Each structure stands twice: as structure tokens, then as C-alpha cells.
Structure 1
Amino acid sequence: MSASEYTTAPGPAPAGNHRLAGNMGTADVAFTVLAFNAPLSVVVGFVPVIIGAGNQLGAPVTYLAAGALLLLFAVGFTTMSRHLPNPGAFYAYITAGLGREVGLGSAFIALFSYIFVLVGGYAFGGLALNSLVHDVLHGPDIPWWTWVLVLQSIAGVLGYFKIDLSAKVLTLLMCGELLIVAIWDAVVLFDGGPEGRTITSFSSSSIFSGSVGLAILFGITCFSGFEATAIFREEVRDPERTIPRATYIAIAAMAGMYALAAYVLITGYGPSAVVEATAADPTGSVTASFQTYVGTVAVDAVTILLCTSIFAANLATHNVTARYLYSLSVDKVFPSQIGAVHGKHGSPHRASLLTSAISVVFLLGLALAQVSATSLYATLVGIGGYALIVLLLLTSVAVVPYFLRRRPEGVQLNIWKMVLAPFIAAGGFAVALYLATDNITLLTGQSQTVSNIVLAIAYGMFVLGFVVALVLRRRRPATYARIGRQDI
């Protein structure tokens, strides 16, 4: 059945119709991934942490190294996307390479991760909006969860409609973020800072200074969300070309942007002062640099754009989460009614509504329990980043057996793309996972006990998915065969 047959019928399509519709191009997909990543939030919130608590003056190289590792991963990831036309990204690819049990376990941990990131992002958005209204605009001091409900409502409405609408909104918001960061970059580099432009960051003593492991860990988590290029497979033009291009563009853009921002922050303060400044006040050090070099108007613009950046990330995360629910419903692991496609918009409207409902209930429960929004954001996004590393490792491992054992007929084995690049990437992610586990308290911002509980829940979701697959294999073999859409 063609995509047009889903988009011409009036009203929602029957639950049995399972093809999304859209007309996203390379730029639309790349901007959606960048929006998921919230680049302004990374520049303000993560870059100074890597300088102050990570490998200090070597932070620019950390981002370049993390980007290189992810580009290696993308070699196998995009090669697989050309030969495995299943939506679902990590879920579909891990299933194809490592089996349905591991695939469904990965899908459960991915869904868990995205819901945590979504709820944590909403909490952050509520705090940022309240700060903007109360501290900058001198408006009323409204509880953070009230603003969260506003953000959820807007994201839910946009998520209900065709993905092209969300893509346009995300592109518009992203342009504002990129512009203000580019202005800051240009002014600082032109000025040269108090100690002049320097290559100190690229010396071996700087690259390996401080806590290299922590820097790598946070550096990788700053690239989250690029798998969305494959999640939107059914909604893009010419996916065989669009997905690889968008993936490489997104990773390269993030690596370049964050490495440059780190170098600019170091230049703006001077190598002798920047580590102390960023360690004492990570976020404040960046806004102070904007104040010094671009002025008060720029600081106000950053405050506003930080709110739009967080919302853009929330919208992108909402759309990705909805499509995971959609894929699992199409595969009949979840009730098939959730996987219905809207007849007019070609969107997973029911999965989108369910995503909104889950996030509202989750956040209201936390608000009633009077959980600190700041602590909530750090913990949920931290564990989401940890789960991302697990998924990156499993996907890298899955590429090799897929092409060695299940390579589509007529496809020639390319040792670099199908074996060496994913193998090297898997080694890098294995190291990153070890570092993440060893530094879990720093990643979540919680005690060792709380961090261990959260880790147990994350791995428990994987075990739950694995067990569900075993039960399906015995009791519902037709559904088991559909896991990862392997029978389609």
C-alpha cells in the first residue's frame, strides 16, 4: 500500500494501516536531530563542565574525539540502514544482528531512556521558563510544573500532526540557537581574549589533563539523539540517501559546534583562568562570557533561546518516543491500536497522545511528591545518557553478525564498513560504558545507593524485554516473528 493511501482518507486510518507519511529532507532530519540534542543547552550546561571538571583545556579535543567515535559508529549504522529498511533504528538493527530477545530488551531500555529524557527535559523547561518570566521579565513566580503542562500541551499538539510541521518549528528554533552561538564565537575569536588565541588546547599535556574519563563520558552524551535519522525512515524523502547524509551532517555539526564553543570559552577567559571560572560556576561562566563580549542584549537572548532550545529538544524527544511506541505497537508487542496512523496527517497520533499521557502522569506524580525539579532533571537525563551508551554499544556489536551471517542476497561484504568500523566503535563504547558505570553518581547527580537503584531499573527494563520476547516465542509465535519487523 502506498503512502498516499494513508494520507487521503478522511480522519484516522484504521489500526491495521501501519505506514507513516511525511516529506522530510536531509536538512529537516538533521535539524530534528540537532534540536533533540539542544545545542545551546549543551554549550551553556555541558561545555563548561568538561572544562572545569573534565580534561580542562583539552575539552575541544574531547569533542572532536567523541565526534570521531560516533562517525565510526555511523559507518556501520548508515550501511545497515541502506540494507535494512525497517523503522525503529536501534531496536530494529539490534534485533537483526543479535536476535529478537536482545532486540526487544533494547527496545524496552530505549523507550525507558527516552521517557526519562523527556520528563527530565520538561522539568528543565519548567525551571527555565519560570526563571525567564519571574527573574528576567519580572512576572509572577509560578510553580515549575505549571509551565511543564504548557510545554507538554504544545508538544502534544504538534506531535499529533504530520511530522513536517514539527520539522519546520524545530528548524526555526534551531536557527535562533545557532545564530547567537555563532555571534559569540565570532566576537571572541576576533577579540582574541585576554591571553590571545592559543593552540594550548591541542597539546598532549592539555588533552590528557584532568579527568579524561569523565570528559569522554560527558562528551559522548552531548551527541544524544542522532539515531532519530533512522527512526523517521518512513517519513523522509529517499531514505537511502537522506538518512546517511543527515546522520553524518548532524554528528559533524555537533562535533564542530561543541569543539569550537569549548575553544571560544577557553579563549574568552584565557587558559590561565578558565578552569577555575568554569569549575566555580559552570553555567554562569558561559553567560558571563556572553555579557563581556556581546553585551546584555545577548545574555537576554540566550535566556530566551535557552527556553526555546529546551522546548525544541522536548518536541524532538516526544516525536522519537511516540515512534518507538508506534513501532512496538505495529509489531504487536504493545496493543496494535496504539500503532494507528492518522489518515490525514500520516502521523502516529495515538502513540503521540499516549506519550503525552505518560509524561503528564509521570511529572504530576513527581510534583505531588515534591521532588526537586533541578535534581529530577539531572538524574533523569543522566540515566538517559547512560542508556544511550548501552544502545550504541549493542548496535555496534549487532552490525558485524548481521552482515556476516544475514547479509542480504547480492550485497558484497565491505570489511571496513561492515566489520572494522563497527568493531572499533564497539570498543570505544565499551570503554565509555565502563567509565559511565564507574562514574554513575556524577552522571545522575545522586548518591551511590540511588544511582544503583536507577541502574537496576534500567537493566531491569532490558531483562523485562528479553523475558517478554521469550514468552512471545512460546505463546504468540506470530508476534515473536514480527519483533523488529523482521517478517516484513
Structure 2
Amino acid sequence: MAEQVAERAGSEQASGNLRGNLGVASIVFTVLAFNAPLGTAAGFVPVLIGYGNQDGAPSTFIVVAVVLTLFSVGLMAMSRYMSSPGAFYSYIVAGLGRIPGLGAAFTAFGAYTAFCLCSYAYGGIVANAMVHGLFHGPDISWWIYSLVMWVVSTILSMLHMELSARVLGVALVAEVVLVLLWGLRVFFNGAPEGVSLHPFTVSAFTSGSLPVGLLFGALCITGFEAVAVFRKEARDPVRTVKRATYGSVAVMCGLYAFTAWADLTAYGHTAVQHAAADPSGSFVSSVHTYVGSTASDLVTVLLVSSVFASIPAVQSIAARYLYTLGSDGVLPRSLGRIHTTQGSPYVAAAWFSALCLIGIIVPAITGLDPLRVYSSCAAIGSVCLVVLMFATSLAILTFFHRDSTHTATRLEAQVAPALALVGIGGVLYLAITHMPDIIGAGRTAADLALAFIVLLAVAGAGLASYLRAQRPEIFARIGRQDL
């Protein structure tokens, strides 16, 4: 099936390097689309306010921004010595070795697969809610809408990234403009108790449940780590990737801090109660109050486009992991083929799309609750990324400690990565201990999810060990930098 889909993308096949002319804006658009800013603003931020550190939610995003910036300092310093588009996979190979590196690659692929299935499930839910609730259309199964999204996303994921970024950018701009318009109306059109800077104080930051607040704050800022995946397709790999990384962190953290502050201001002293009572509806209700019914209806429509826009972004990232593993020879080499006209890893994209199709069909046939699919996959994907960031921080420290010829500063090679390691390690600890809260299920289900994450890493490391013993020529290519 995947090969047939791939053939439709173009008759010419070639193995070779990814190529492109992506600028900072194109990559940032893709990362922000992956993050689904309207979905995060409407779904995750109210949860952080209602069940996290409450009034301190805006300052939580500032703290998260500091940790991710520290992480990015070391990442960008090490990127000067990297050329493979395998992102965390390649960094961990360079710093910790091929066996943990391949374990990281499997973990990363599992993360993006989980995110994609999460988006398909949630996308089907919100699309049906829009058609049936807003437009009074038929009430049909979620998976029908998911299949429509799958067809379009599959096509986009096999096209040139510049074209996909333009498509994503249209929906993204509309989302951000609407969130900003709502926030400005809240601040300038008479909030019930006025505008306060209290959410940025230490007492507010430490209110409520700080551990849950920090955890959900970190989980809101997913996607920035994918910037390095597009390194080979960037106009100027060093400068473009650096600017896109810092830009993505700044835009996401700034937007969500602004959203949380506006949310607290809109409801006044009852904000926490509103968020806890109706985390999925408080944002839309606030938009209706401050901007009007047309805007709240538009939020419903754009929420669908927000989730939909995230799917081809995730598929593009996952396809590039498969491309790297195929180019290395770890997986079938056909995955390393590049389309001669689109310059995209179309075979890898086709195979990943086929995997996603299975992920839609199985829940549809078995009758699994799409909300459970959404929450479980979101939790697994998020924790996988935190694990990868922790391992990457350790890899950065090890890489610069081992290579005495590097030209990185002490801040880049030691201080920033060490501080990031501590911060991300804290988030990882919170993720493990609060897994039932993240996944929305009991301890048993949470333990099974954690076991699955461990299984991914062990499977990758086990394959690397096998290759070292039986296929040393392929083992030597793991994480190579001559792509």
C-alpha cells in the first residue's frame, strides 16, 4: 500500500540528500503548526490554570522558556558539528554512542507516531462537533473525518516542505490573530477586576500545584525540538536553524503566557474555578463574551484547522526520521529515497502514512473511545520527548567534554547544558510520578504507557547491539554525518 501511494507522488525515484530553500519563517510555521497553538490555548492552558499552579500559570511559561532556552544554547552549539537531519537521534549518537542513539531514534519515532494518532483522533472529534453542532450537519463517526484528513495530510507530507509550510501558515496566522484579538479585547475593554501583574509574582508562581503546573507548561511547548530535523532543507543551515529554534521557543512561550494572563484577567477571581469546571469550554466562552458569537464560532472552525494543520507537520517530521534510518541502512534503504522534483523523502512519508492509516482503522473497528486514544497518545508522545531532551542534554555535555578541540564557550558547552539537564530532569521526574494525571487514567494504564516507552528505547538499543555483532558495516553508519 505504501509503495503504491509513493508511486502516485511521482514516477521518478532517487536516493540522495534532502534539499530545499526553507527560511526561518517556513520552519517556524511548521513547528507552530505541529504545536497547534489554538488547540493548546483552548485546551491545555485552561487545564494548567485549573489544576496546575493556578494564578501563576503565565509565569510558568516564562520559567519553561528559560529552561528550553538553556537547552537550545547547548543544542545550537553542538549543531555546528552536526549535519545529519536526524535531530535528537544524531546528537545522542554523537554524544553517548550508537546503541543509546538508536534507542533514542526509536523513542523519537514512537513520539511522533503517538502525536500523529492523537491528532487524527482529536481532529475527527472536533470536526464532527463543528459539522454537527455549528453547521447542524449529520452526526457521523469521528474516523470518517480522520480518513479525509489522512488523505490530504499524506499528499502534503510527500510534497516539498516549502509548499507544505505555506499551507500550514495560512491556518496558523488566522489562529494567532484570533487569540491576540481576544486577549487585547480582554485587556483594553474592561476586565471585571482590571489588569494585574500578580500572576508574575513568586507567590502566584508557587500557588496551587506547582509540579503539575510545570509539567503541563513544558508539555505545551512541544515541537521546537523538530527544527533540527529540517537542517538539510534550510536556506542557511547554521543561521536558519538557530534563529528558528530561538524564535519558536519565544513565540510559543510568549503566546501561551499572554493567553494564560488574558484568561485569568477575563474571569477575575473566578478564573481558576471556571478553568477547573470546564477546561475545554472556558476559552470559547470567554471569546464569546469579549469578541462576540461570530468570533466564538470562528474559534470552533479554526480549532479544526489547528488540529488538521498539525498533522502534516508531524508526518513530515516523522518521515525525516525514517529517511535518516533508511539512509543509515538500519531500516530498508528505500526509505532513504528522495523525490527528484519535490526533494522530499516521499517513500518514508508514504510508509508512515500507511502506519497512521492503521492507527485510524484499528480504533474504528474495535470501537475504542477516540478521547481515550487522544489522551493516551498525547501522554506517551509528550513523555517520550521529555526523555529525549534529557538524553540530549546529557549527550551535549558528554560530547564537549570528550572533544577538547571544540571552539564552544564554557556557557555553551557546560553551564547551559548542565542547567538544562537539571531542569528537564525535574520535568521528567514529574512526568513519571504524575503519569495518571497526564494520561487521564489509573496507575495501571499509566504504568503500561511508561512500559511502552521503555520498550521503544530497548528495542532500538537491542537492534543496535545486534547490528554491532552481526552487521558491523551497518552499525558503523548509525547516526553518520555524511548524508
Contact 1:96 / 1:486 at 8 angstroms: preserved in 2? no
- Coordinate RMSD, CA, aligned: 1.1
The CA deviation string for residues 353-406 of structure 1, in whole angstroms up to 9 with x for no partner, is 111100011221111111100111011011111111101100111101112213
Q: Counterpart amino acid of 2:93?
A: T
% identical equivalent positions: 42
- Matching residue of 1:197: 195
SS for the counterpart of 2:478 is helix
- Matching residue of 2:68: 70
Structure 2 residue 356 is matched with structure 1 residue 359: yes
Distance (whole Å) between structure 2 residues aligned to residue 203 and residue 59 of structure 1:
11
- Matching residue of 1:54: 52
Q: Counterpart amino acid of 2:455?
A: G
SS for the counterpart of 2:281 is helix
Q: Report deviation, 1:161.
A: 1.2
Distance (whole Å) between structure 1 residues aligned to residue 392 and residue 254 of structure 2:
24
Which is worse superposed, 185-194 or 258-267?
A: 185-194
Q: Counterpart amino acid of 2:418?
A: F
Structure 2 residue 390 is matched with structure 1 residue 393: yes
- Matching residue of 1:322: 319
Distance (whole Å) between structure 2 residues aligned to residue 418 and residue 84 of structure 1:
15
SS for the counterpart of 2:115 is helix
- Matching residue of 2:424: 429
Structure 2 residue 292 is matched with structure 1 residue 292: no
SS for the counterpart of 2:222 is coil
Q: Report deviation, 1:487.
A: 6.1
Q: Report deviation, 1:13.
A: 2.9
- Matching residue of 1:465: 460
Distance (whole Å) between structure 1 residues aligned to residue 190 and residue 382 of structure 2:
34
Spell out the pairing of 1:225-236 with structure 2 (5 A cutoff). 225-236=223-234
The structure 2 residue matched to 1:212, chosen from 210, 222, 232, is 210
- Matching residue of 2:13: 13
Q: TM-score, normalised by structure 1?
A: 0.96
Contact 1:233 / 1:239 at 8 angstroms: preserved in 2? yes
Q: Counterpart amino acid of 1:341?
A: I
Contact 2:84 / 2:482 at 8 angstroms: preserved in 1? no
Distance (whole Å) between structure 2 residues aligned to residue 82 and residue 311 of structure 1:
34
The CA deviation string for residues 271-310 of structure 1, in whole angstroms up to 9 with x for no partner, is x110111100012111110010000000011011111100
Spell out the pairing of 1:5-404 with structure 2 (5 A cutoff). 11-14=11-14, 17-270=15-268, 272-404=269-401
Q: Counterpart amino acid of 1:286?
A: F
SS for the counterpart of 1:421 is helix
The answer for unaligned runs of 5 or more in structure 2 is: 1-9
SS for the counterpart of 2:224 is coil
Q: Counterpart amino acid of 2:12?
A: P
Q: Report deviation, 1:451.
A: 1.2
Runs of 4+ in 1 over 3 A off after TM superposition: none
The answer for unaligned runs of 5 or more in structure 1 is: 1-9
Q: Counterpart amino acid of 1:13?
A: Q
Q: Report deviation, 1:429.
A: 0.8
SS for the counterpart of 1:58 is helix
The CA deviation string for residues 410-447 of structure 1, in whole angstroms up to 9 with x for no partner, is x3241101111011000011111111000001111121
Q: Counterpart amino acid of 1:12?
A: E
Number of matched pairs: 474
- Matching residue of 1:477: 472
Distance (whole Å) between structure 2 residues aligned to residue 487 and residue 470 of structure 1:
22
Contact 1:21 / 1:345 at 8 angstroms: preserved in 2? no
Q: Report deviation, 1:471.
A: 0.6
Contact 2:192 / 2:266 at 8 angstroms: preserved in 1? yes
Distance (whole Å) between structure 1 residues aligned to residue 229 and residue 270 of structure 2:
43
